């Protein structure tokens, strides 16, 4: 884990926190890799039922650190920086447990793309969200024109990406960018309350529901379908017969149950 990314397990809750407040939680390469590592750790935890993602300080995340990518040649920008971010964000979006983002500060560019991987977004009043990349002469690189369009709609993404429009939390709520708005200082508390509600429900049902919603949304279509099929057949008599026949070097006799 990067020193700027902290993962803590508290019973059924996995708490993932960006801790680079002096740089507005801007992501460098080590932080990107740490986010991917954290996603693997959460998925590997049998106790985890829900996760909260937040950032310390005045910003949830100000996006990618310009010092980390500003001098990269084009091919390295694509091969290393952009693809690494996609891998990390996809791992978070495809977590088997629900992910709640507590936006206690601004989410710009890659920070909004990071918030978009969450299943639920809680924003505190006073924060702003936007995609300022075109003002720097670049395009969103971590699925700002893809996942954000699927989850929020093309119209609002066009306004942010083409004009640089920044939306305060209340406007973001009306546009569907966030799910709830709380008073200042209450975002994490509300996220914790929602996480507690999730943790009380049947964990397998919750995880399957998330997987199916992701598939319907085009987030991860193949794995949920094949995973559910595998789970359905895992404890059938036919599978037991097939395995026994393989081990006994004979032809199986399937009963269809």
Is 113 considered catalytic here?
Answer: yes
Is 217 considered catalytic here?
Answer: no
Catalytic, out of 47, 90, 133, 217: 133
Catalytic, out of 113, 124, 192, 219: 113
What DSSP string describes the chain?
Answer: --TTEEEEEETTEEEEEE--GGGTT-B-HHHHHHHHHHHHHHHH-SS--EEEEEE-TTEEE--B-HHHHTT--HHHIIIIIIHHHHHHHHHHHT-SS-EEEEE-SEEETHHHHHHTTSSEEEEETT-EEE--GGGGT----SSTTTHHHHHH-HHHHHHHHHH--EEEHHHHHHHTS-SEEE-TT-HHHHHHHHHHHHHHS-HHHHHHHHHHHHHHHTSS-HHHHHHHHHHHHHT-HHHHHHHHHHHHTS-------
Kindly list the catalytic residues.
113, 133
């Amino acid at each position: 884990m990067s020193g700027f990314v902290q993962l803590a397990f508290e019973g059924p809750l996995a708490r993932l926190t960006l801790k680079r407040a002096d740089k507005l939680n801007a992501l460098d390469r080590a932080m990107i890799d740490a986010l991917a590592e954290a996603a693997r750790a959460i998925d590997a935890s049998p106790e985890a039922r829900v996760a909260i993602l937040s950032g310390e300080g005045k910003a949830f995340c100000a996006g990618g650190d310009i010092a980390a990518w500003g001098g990269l040649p084009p091919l390295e920008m694509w091969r290393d920086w952009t693809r690494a971010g996609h891998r990390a964000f996809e791992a978070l979006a495809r977590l088997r447990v629900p992910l709640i983002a507590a936006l206690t500060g601004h989410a710009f560019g890659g920070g909004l793309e990071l918030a978009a991987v969450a299943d639920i977004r809680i924003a505190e009043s006073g924060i702003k969200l936007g995609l300022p990349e075109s003002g720097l002469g670049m395009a969103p690189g971590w699925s700002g024109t893809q996942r954000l369009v699927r989850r929020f709609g093309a119209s609002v993404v066009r306004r942010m990406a083409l004009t640089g429009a920044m939306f305060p939390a209340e406007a973001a709520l009306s546009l569907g960018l966030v799910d709830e708005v709380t008073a200042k200082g209450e975002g994490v508390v509300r996220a914790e309350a929602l996480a507690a509600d999730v943790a009380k429900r049947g964990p397998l049902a919750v995880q399957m529901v998330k997987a199916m919603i992701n598939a319907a949304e085009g987030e991860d279509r193949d794995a949920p379908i094949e995973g559910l099929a595998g789970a359905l057949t895992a404890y059938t008599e036919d599978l037991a017969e097939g395995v026994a026949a393989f081990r006994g070097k004979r032809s199986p006799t399937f009963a269809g149950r």
